[in-house]
Structure 1
Amino acid sequence: MTFSIIGRCAETGQLGIAISSSSIAVGARCPWLRPGVGAVATQNITLPALGSHVLDQLELGLSPEQATASVPAYDAFSRFRQVTVIDHQGNTAIFNGTETLGCVHSVAGEQCAGAGNMLADTAVIDAMVKAFETTGGQLADRLIAAMQAAMAAGGEAGPVHSAALKVVGDVSWPIIDLRVDWAEEDPITTLAQLWTAYRPQMQDYLTRALDPTQAPSYGVPGDE
């Protein structure tokens, strides 16, 4: 049903998640990030509340391993959940419930972790993590490359219909929050196209928020 990659950029400290699913609007339920704290992907019969719960544990000073260890006590149905965690230093942890669906695999990499369920093959996650580790560019570029590598390695056992990319940096809101909530086919390619369009504008939107006097004009009525 779902595969995802969480990662950190060692140069900027940015944290990010890219995720896809056979279900609609995966970006509404599964990626959870908090600047300066960490990122959590909660998937496989998702309980969205696990995202904020695990982030709260990280913010209290627990390690990712300790935070994921708290999942069974927090969620009586934790056996159905799959959770990956990265903290602001790049430490990771993975929780796979005993009733995670289908072909299940997860891998902790360098400043990243990948996980999936209902996969076509375990090689999907191996390829995803390797692509993240070996791709250059911005964190979002590396996350997108990882998702494309996962699809090239077989992706899910069934069709993928939604995808999302979310990144946090120094400000309190996501600096990237792009979603394909439903596509009959290939939402990851559509997500990559969204990122290509958004990349050159990202800094402009940050400038608009932080110092409107320095913001560029977009030439629309009232925007001078």
Structure 2
Amino acid sequence: MKKLLILALLMVSQTSIAQVYKKSEPLTHTYSIVAKDEVTGEMGVAVQSHWFSVGTSVVYGEAGVGVVATQSLTNPAYGPKGLVLMKQGLTPQQALNALIENDEGEVYRQVGMLNAKGEVATHTGSLCIAEAGHRQGKNYSVQANLMLNNTVWDAMAEAFENSKGKPLSERLLITLKAAQAEKGDLRGKQSAAILIVSGTATGNSWEDTLLDLRVDDHENPLQELERLMKVSNAYNFMNAGDVAMEEGNTKLAEKNYLSAQKLFPDNLEMQYWYAINLLNNKDFEKANSILKSIFEKDNNWRILIPRLIKSKLLTISEAEMQSVMKL
């Protein structure tokens, strides 16, 4: 481990990470959380700020490695460099120490880091604008600066601890809401983001990143983030339905499309693919009722029917198809 730390320090010292303000290195005074789900191993980072597109500069994560929130007078280098150091075997504290020791602007930085073991490290620089502080707990760290009140980080910690048993995405959102309930950022609110990665890496980024949502500019970013999380959940079911269709498992496809539809009952596409798999499963009465309603609202869905048969995603006879087309 000592060799790893020495190597890491040498690597970081080769390029100073002191910040000179640039458009790409924003002043994201804000509040955030890094956390791990004890059951699933998932790791997440979430943030809200009165700054445009906070998610592009504050949140970083890599499956099987960890997550980072870097804020205040933000130096984005803490994100990718912190992940590299933890991937090399350094603890979050060792990685954070290496970065701080080579940063002339560390007094203005606020950083939270967590690794796949649930170990955390946090730094609130001595010149971060008050109210600024952080609190650590088992498998999490919360941090905030430029808050209206100095009660924000304690409220965040308690909210996270009291939400055990819920999915990590919900717990992160609950934590941000607790900060907002304490009046949050002195300047108000503008953007938010959430990133969740798997506790173990498959090497496939499309599988390892479980949730990656940003609200770049909104009058109520947490409300919008919550809406997008619901949409994301629905489309996870839609994607699973698509995979099941591709594999010819129409029963499983039907189940997944129905789960999506329950989240958004008025979404025509979710209704449509559910109905298509009802057709595949020979439940014509229920399917035809749904499709008739859809066709009345948008006839383009009717045009798609024969195309699905050609692509072998809909397996009904010519006579059955003609019956559907006449609905």
Normalized against structure 2, the TM-score is what? 0.63
Counterpart in the other structure of 1:195: 229
Counterpart in the other structure of 1:16: 44
Counterpart in the other structure of 2:25: none
Q: Which has the larger radius of gyration?
A: 2
Deviation at 1:204, TM superposition (A): 4.7
Query: C-alpha deviations, 1:165-199, integer Å up to 9, x for none?
Result: 1101155342101111001x221111112112222
1:131 corresponds to 2:185: no
Change (3 A) 1:109 1:159: same
| Structure having the larger proportion of residues in strand | 1
Deviation at 1:208, TM superposition (A): 6.0
Alignment: residue pair count = 223
1:118 corresponds to 2:152: no
- Percent identity for Structure 1 against Structure 2: 29
| Structure having the larger proportion of residues in helix | 2
Partner SS, residue 157 of structure 2: helix
Q: Is the 8 A contact 1:119 1:155 kept in 2?
A: yes
Deviation at 1:205, TM superposition (A): 3.7
Partner Cα separation in structure 1 for residue 187 and residue 70 of structure 2: 20
Deviation at 1:93, TM superposition (A): 0.6
Counterpart in the other structure of 1:180: 215
Counterpart in the other structure of 1:146: 175
Partner Cα separation in structure 2 for residue 212 and residue 114 of structure 1: 42
List alignment gaps of at least 5 residues for structure 1: none
1:50 corresponds to 2:78: yes
1:109 corresponds to 2:137: yes
Higher mean C-alpha displacement, 72-81 vs 211-220: 211-220
Report the RMSD for the aligned CA atoms in angstroms.
2.4
Change (3 A) 1:204 1:151: same
Normalized against structure 1, the TM-score is what? 0.90
Partner Cα separation in structure 2 for residue 186 and residue 212 of structure 1: 39
Partner SS, residue 44 of structure 1: strand
Partner Cα separation in structure 2 for residue 129 and residue 163 of structure 1: 18
Alignment of 1:22-41 (within 5 A): 22-41=50-69
Deviation at 1:211, TM superposition (A): 10
Deviation at 1:73, TM superposition (A): 3.3
